[in-house]
Amino acid sequence: MRWSLAWVALALAAALSGCAPRGDGVAGSSARAPRYFGSVNPPRESVLRFNNGAEPETIDPALASGQPDGRLARSLFEGLTVSDPRTLEPGPGQAARWETSRDGRLWTFHLRPGLRWSDGTPLGASDFVWSWLRALRPETASRNAGLLHAIAGAEAFNRGTATDPASVGLAAPDETTLVVRLARPVPYLLYLAAYPTWLPVPRHVVERWGDAWTRPEHIVSNGAFVLERWRPNDRLVLRRNPRYRDPARVRSERVEAYSIEDLSTATELYESGRLDWNTSGYIPSPFVPYMRRYADFRSAPFQSVYFYSLNVTRPPLDNVWVRRALNAAVDREAIALDLLRGTRQPWGRLTPQGYPGYPAPPALGYDLARAREYLARAGYPGGRGFRKISILFNTSEDNRRIAEAIQAMWTRGLGIPVELQNMEWGATLQATSSLRYDVARRSWIGDYLDPSTFLDIMRGGDGNNRTGWADARYDRLLSAAADEPDPAQRLALLARAEALLLADGPVVPVYHYFSVELVKPYVRGIWSNALDTHPLEDIWIDHGWRRPGPAGEARAHAGRAGARP
Amino acid sequence: MIRYLLRRLLLFVPTLWAIATITFFLVRLAPGGPFNAERAIPEAARAQLARKYGLDRPLAVQYVTFLGRAARLDFGPSYEFPARPVREIIARGVRVSAELGGWALLVALLVGVPLGIVAALRQNRAADTAVMAVALAGVSVPNFVLGPLLVLIFSLGLYWLPPALWEGPQSRILPVLTLSAAYAAYVARLTRAGMLEVLRQDFIRTARAKGLPERLVVLKHALRLGLLPVVSYLGPAAAAVITGSLVVEQVFAIPGLGRYLVNGAFNRDYTLVMGVVLFYACLLLVLNLLVDLAYAWLDPRVELG
Amino acid sequence: MGVSAASVPAPAPGRSLWTDARRRLARNRAAAVSALFLALVALACFAAPWLPGLADPAAQDLRLGAAPPGAPHWLGTDELGRDVLARILYGGRVSLLVGLVGTLVSLVVGVSWGAVAGYAGGKLDELMMRVVDVLYALPNIFLVIVLLVFFSRSLLMLFVALGLVQWLTMARIVRGQVLTLKQQTFVEAARALGAGDRSIVFRHIVPNTLGPVIVYSTLTVPAVILQEAFLSFLGLGVQPPGASWGTLIADGARVMALFPWLVLFPGLALSLTLLALNFLGDGLRDALDPQDAGRVP
């Protein structure tokens, strides 16, 4: 049995040297001195080392879709506006100023004079026109070209029904003036202008190298950084762009963006001091509650919602009372607060929080008695006669725990038979988009701070709808809102649409995400915000930082020893 | 010998063709396609991508084009990483994976073979039990447990070694240990079994009876035959270990080849999957050929072909 | 190691070999204890629903969450507050079954395939081994995904997916052994005595490969049990909220530093089973040893 003893010893060693509850042993540590997670030695050079997450598929702004892609695209390229790292308020970027017509449909941007690409080639208004038309061209096959549809004529051009670039409402009367005609008033246009799809790309490089233009040996950029090195599945190294319009704005000489997919690995590298910043989503969720005690921990509501979608084309889910019953039988607080230990917020709406002025409709709540009543009204009193339904989710530990909890709520609360079905990613996507499922796990992340970024996905026939649900009244309300010039009126129309959606119940909202990240105390310029957007040029290492408290100096691995006064 | 080699090398062609063909249709039978994503892609864009990569053409045409290109080792660009040709992805990944795998195999053999011999010579005694106990622990603690455990102890507990990333000799230690543990255990168990079979055979008894020193008997006569099961095992094991281990590469953030097959499968990245599978197949065929040659070398009585 | 009929170890006729083996196996203490232990584990797993005092493995307590071992949950609870002991016992059913079937396939298919190829040699050997190569090289993950397209998930499909690949290395090992064994004197002797090919392969050669075969089989069991966890990931293995040892270990590994009991106890279950299997395997090998057939231990 020697070897099984070895097993026990190993496991004990793990528990003792344990990861998250480290520092637990330091009983009675002072409330004044902050505790840090792991090493707190700043890097010697002016370099920011952070985990960018999964390997970026591309850094071409027109094609970038995930957060890892987008974050890099926005550091390498700069659009007309840039986001304030604190408030996300758009401010002047490549454009120095702009004006808009009274009806909000005509925008004139005045570019800064003397803008250049990192290879010295001049950059002007025509580059923006060319880049946006490129993103819209069907050949480019951009996933996010829809974000440019606000421009007049862009949608038809994107779909290939109009082929004349002149039909798109863009004009560059001279190299510092860019005139954009919109299809409808877009109150969040300046936010959009900082979004990857709206960034300029170097025509001379793209035309010469084709798909390979983003390789480090070819790429030319206009943003705060240039790409120095890209080692796939390991890291990208960015260096300050000497030809950037305002080089002094960029606080770090160099940025190392690591591509670490495994959450535990990312957290361990952060703990060991190899990373200065572990971006949101890269702490294994069971560990999050234990991270709160550290001063490194940052958390803020993030505009993303986890929900279940119901396939309304399949009986009995075509029955609105069944959908209401399922909705009312989900105890969101037990999931978010008990199971997930408060790392998420229970949520009963499709749109997340944090949209100023949005008169959000009442949230769906947990009411088991009423849920049973609904089910009886649907013709299945006590769940009798209800066929077995299946919850589909892509395999992940978190998804499974939640599915198991919801399964128990529906089975034990409503008395209906529920089975779970997990699939790998590709098969899950195929099943949800072709409506071959009963109930499926989904989540959605907003692109910009406006409820329409969530509500639009539930339009009838939208590629992201994936429930088969379509309601002409809902679509009409959304269209009316899109054409409404008065912001308050517009939000009221959107709220009516959401109320209608919630009452009809094709989606079962479960929780609201929080961003959770770890930031070393010597890192400056990271502020939590609803879009989890942190422009890299604003982040820097404070070499003057000293560990607070009488000990005075920053010691390696001090997090483990605890911060004793 | 030369004729045997030539015949085996010629046989590579139909074998690789069979693997390529079955895989080609297998990946296309899987539900979904390469351009699906959480965020729906507009229909026009999807059609455009399909045209760009030739996926809109009849399957037979796609198949013939693929075979023609594969014969020239050209698999085209990866769908997921459009700026990178599959050939480059494999070349970069295999350099890392082969180094990691090579060390792991070496450790597995250096640890496993001597332990196996010792255990066989001390059959059913304390040393044997101890060695086999360790070996069993190596098999039953999977690498996704062992890796994080080693990191907890040696990186985050003792601060001796970096927890991840592939840079510098120190960063090699934990991943190599993690990867080699199970292989070392297999090698030790198989060496012991092989040696036990051989040690009982007549010619060993004859050698002993002739008064040859025990060490000579064991190392010169018995070991050659005793290693046969290990050698058989090594062919496929080496091919697997050189093409990388998904778990070890993920736990230690190593930019190897291992994650591409699985991630490529999940993303339906047909070109990437085809490239990796065929690379692995070539490696496997070559290694199994070497194994067959090794049989003849270890036991001259074995006839090739 | 003295006086067996070594030069022509033509084994005694089948039945008495087995009776003999059984008697010798029973006399091996470690093997007997191991067999008893395995029987008890299997009994506890398959009779779990009727075990008095065992918690419902699906009963959740979200408020409790992951609790360390102690009354009333002797092995603790998982993050949904479910009893770990119950989940291990229920999970053992799939794992033991999978380990057994995977190993059987490996034994039956792998040993026969390898023995026939090695003995026949020439073209047949080439053909059979190239089939093995092809099966090795096919991406298993796609095989499983495609299987799931055409067949609904079931225990049978799980066995098919595991059985498809588990016998390949076994076939190569047995073939390697047979290549050298068939050149040895006892085979020639048997042939001279008029034994047919089938009898030479299965009665004279295969018994002499038993050492590596049994060892590799016992090593296959944990490999299959852990492989099942990967198939579960693809949606083929156990169906949540059910679990298997493989999925329990895989899930527990993720929270090892927080809740060590979640990986420790399923890991112990697997390791102890493997240890017992191993003693049993060694005992079996000794008992079946064709060269020791006449020897009294």
Give CA–CA dist A330/B194, Å, rounded. Answer: 60
Determine contact, residues B263/B118, Cβ cutoff 8 Å: no
State whether C137 and B277 contact (CB < 8 Å): yes
With a CB cutoff of 8 Å and minimum separation 6, the contacts of C104 are none
Give CA–CA dist B155/A270, Å, rounded. Answer: 12
Chains within contact range of chain B (3+ C-beta pairs < 8 Å): A, C
Determine contact, residues A295/A36, Cβ cutoff 8 Å: yes
| pLDDT higher than 80, residue C1 | no
* B36: nearest CB among A260, A271, A433: A433
Q: Which one, of A104, A112, A82, A92, lies nearest residue A181 by Cα? A: A104
Sequential DSSP letters for A156-225: HHHHTS---GGGSSEEEEETTEEEEEBSS--TTHHHHTTSGGGS---HHHHHHHGGGGGSTTT----SSE
CB-facing half-sphere around the CA of C197: CA atoms within 13 A = 7
At C170, list the tokens: 């076994």
Chain B residues with beta carbon closer than 8 angstroms to that of A424: 265-266
Give residue C9's pLDDT band: very low, low, confident or very high (50, 70, 90).
Answer: very low
Q: Please list the residues that pair with A508 across neighbouring strands.
A: A308
What's the pLDDT score for residue C292?
53
State whether A138 and B80 contact (CB < 8 Å): no
Give residue C152's pLDDT band: very low, low, confident or very high (50, 70, 90).
Answer: confident
User: Best residue in B232, B248, B279 to probe C by mutation, most C CBs within 10 Å?
Assistant: B232
β-strand pairing of A170-174 with A177-181: antiparallel
Question: How does pLDDT run across A141-166, given as a tens digit for each residue?
Answer: 898 898 999 999 999 999 889 999 99
Q: Please list the residues that pair with A300 across neighbouring strands.
A: A515
Question: How does pLDDT run across A93-128, given as a tens digit for each residue?
Answer: 999 999 999 888 999 999 999 999 999 999 999 999
- Chain A nearest C-alpha distance from C208 (Å): 30
Which is more confidently placed, A24 or B158?
A: B158
State whether A423 and C255 contact (CB < 8 Å): no
Q: How far is CA C157 from CA A274, C222, C228, in A?
A: 45, 19, 12
Question: How does pLDDT run across A416-438, given as a tens digit for each residue?
Answer: 999 999 988 888 888 998 999 99
Question: How does pLDDT run across A27-72, given as a tens digit for each residue?
Answer: 344 456 789 999 899 999 999 999 999 899 999 999 988 889 999 9
Crossing angle of helices B86-121/B170-199, nearest 10°?
50
Question: How does pLDDT run across B33-44, given as a tens digit for each residue?
Answer: 888 887 888 888
| pLDDT higher than 80, residue C11 | no
Taking any CB pair shorter than 8 Å as contact, residues of chain C touching chain A are 58, 60, 62-63, 65, 79-80, 145, 148, 232-235, 239-241, 251, 254-260, 263-264, 267-268, 271-272, 275
Mean pLDDT of the residues in chain A: 89
Mean pLDDT of C113-121: 93
Share of residues in chain B with pLDDT > 90 (%): 48
Determine contact, residues A363/A347, Cβ cutoff 8 Å: yes
Give residue A88's pLDDT band: very low, low, confident or very high (50, 70, 90).
Answer: confident
* C180: nearest CB among B31, B225, B235: B225
Mean pLDDT of the residues in chain B: 89
State whether B302 and C179 contact (CB < 8 Å): yes
Give residue A13's pLDDT band: very low, low, confident or very high (50, 70, 90).
Answer: very low
What's the pLDDT score for residue A412?
93
At A206, list the tokens: 């793209």
Question: How does pLDDT run across A324-373, given as a tens digit for each residue?
Answer: 999 999 999 999 999 998 889 999 999 999 888 999 999 999 999 999 99
What's the pLDDT score for residue C184?
82
Question: How does pLDDT run across C79-115, given as a tens digit for each residue?
Answer: 999 999 999 999 999 999 999 998 999 999 999 999 9
Residue of B nearest to A269 (CA): B163
* C235: nearest CB among A14, A341, A422: A422
Q: Residue type at B52? A: K
What's the pLDDT score for residue A400?
93
Instruction: Name residue, tokens 């879009």.
Output: A531
Give CA–CA dist A280/A299, Å, rounded. Answer: 9
Give residue A224's pLDDT band: very low, low, confident or very high (50, 70, 90).
Answer: very high
CB-facing half-sphere around the CA of C139: CA atoms within 13 A = 35
What's the pLDDT score for residue A16?
41
Question: How does pLDDT run across A278-300, given as a tens digit for each residue?
Answer: 999 899 988 999 999 999 999 99
Sequential DSSP letters for C66-130: S--SBTTBTT-B-TT--BHHHHHHHHHHHHHHHHHHHHHHIIIIIHHHHHHHHHH-HHHHHHHHH
The secondary structure of residue A41, as a DSSP letter, is: P
Q: Which one, of C63, C278, A507, C176, lies nearest residue B131 by Cα? A: C278
Hey, is A96 helix, strand or coil? strand
Residues 208-247 (C) with a CB less than 8 A from some CB of B: 208-209, 211-212, 214-216, 219, 222-223, 226
Give CA–CA dist B292/B232, Å, rounded. Answer: 8
Chain A residues with beta carbon closer than 8 angstroms to that of B267: 425-426
Give residue A5's pLDDT band: very low, low, confident or very high (50, 70, 90).
Answer: very low
Mean pLDDT of B84-99: 92
Give CA–CA dist B113/B231, Å, rounded. Answer: 11
Give CA–CA dist B252/B129, Å, rounded. Answer: 32
Residue of B nearest to A16 (CA): B157
Determine contact, residues A535/A83, Cβ cutoff 8 Å: yes
State whether C139 and B265 contact (CB < 8 Å): yes
A3-12, B171-180, C57-66, C200-209, range with the lowest pLDDT = A3-12
Mean pLDDT of the residues in chain C: 84
Mean pLDDT of C139-160: 86
Give CA–CA dist B286/B279, Å, rounded. Answer: 11
* A286: nearest CB among C255, C264, C268: C255
How many pairs of residues across B and C have Cβ atoms under 8 Å apart? 171
Q: Dihedral sign, CA of A423, A429, A430, A433?
A: positive
Give CA–CA dist A164/A133, Å, rounded. Answer: 10
Instruction: Name residue, tokens 């036990």.
Output: B196
Q: Dihedral sign, CA of A256, A259, A261, A262?
A: negative
State whether A401 and C79 contact (CB < 8 Å): yes
Mean pLDDT of C38-52: 91
- Chain A nearest C-alpha distance from B41 (Å): 5
